[in-house]
């Protein structure tokens, strides 16, 4: 393990522009391949950080879904 090939969570936050808690969560969920926890510190391969692409977002919040459904109902009521 060449330490220069790894970054800490703090360094990853600067590269990715995400919160430290989010990066730690990505490490826990194996979304950053090769990440290893040494004592209390995550060591993440620099390549994993640079190549990370987020997956699709979860479902829309309920308020957005309801607004979309309401708009569809009004559209159908108007004959469109």
pLDDT tens track for 18-34? 999 999 999 999 999 99
pLDDT of residue 1: 58
Retrieve residue 58's tokens: 């979860």
pLDDT of residue 61: 67
Average of per-residue pLDDT across 57-62: 71
Confidence of residue 77 (pLDDT cuts 50, 70, 90): confident
pLDDT of residue 4: 81
pTM for the model stands at 0.67
Instruction: Tell me the C-alpha distance between 48 and 5, whole Å.
Output: 10
Question: In terms of Cα–Cα distance, which of 80, 1, 79, 77 is closest to 38?
Answer: 1
Tokens 């004959």: give the residue: 79
- Whether the Cβ atoms of residue 54 and residue 40 lie closer than 8 Å to each other: no
What domains can you pick out in the chain, each with its CATH number?
1-53 (3.90.105)
């Amino acid at each position: 393990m060449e330490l220069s090939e790894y970054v800490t969570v703090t360094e990853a936050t600067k590269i990715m522009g995400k919160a430290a808690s989010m990066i730690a969560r990505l490490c826990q969920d194996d979304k950053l391949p090769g990440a290893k926890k040494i004592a209390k510190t995550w060591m993440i391969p620099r390549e994993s950080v640079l190549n990370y692409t987020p997956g699709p977002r979860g479902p829309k919040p309920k308020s957005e879904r309801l607004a979309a459904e309401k708009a569809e109902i009004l559209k159908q009521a108007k004959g469109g």
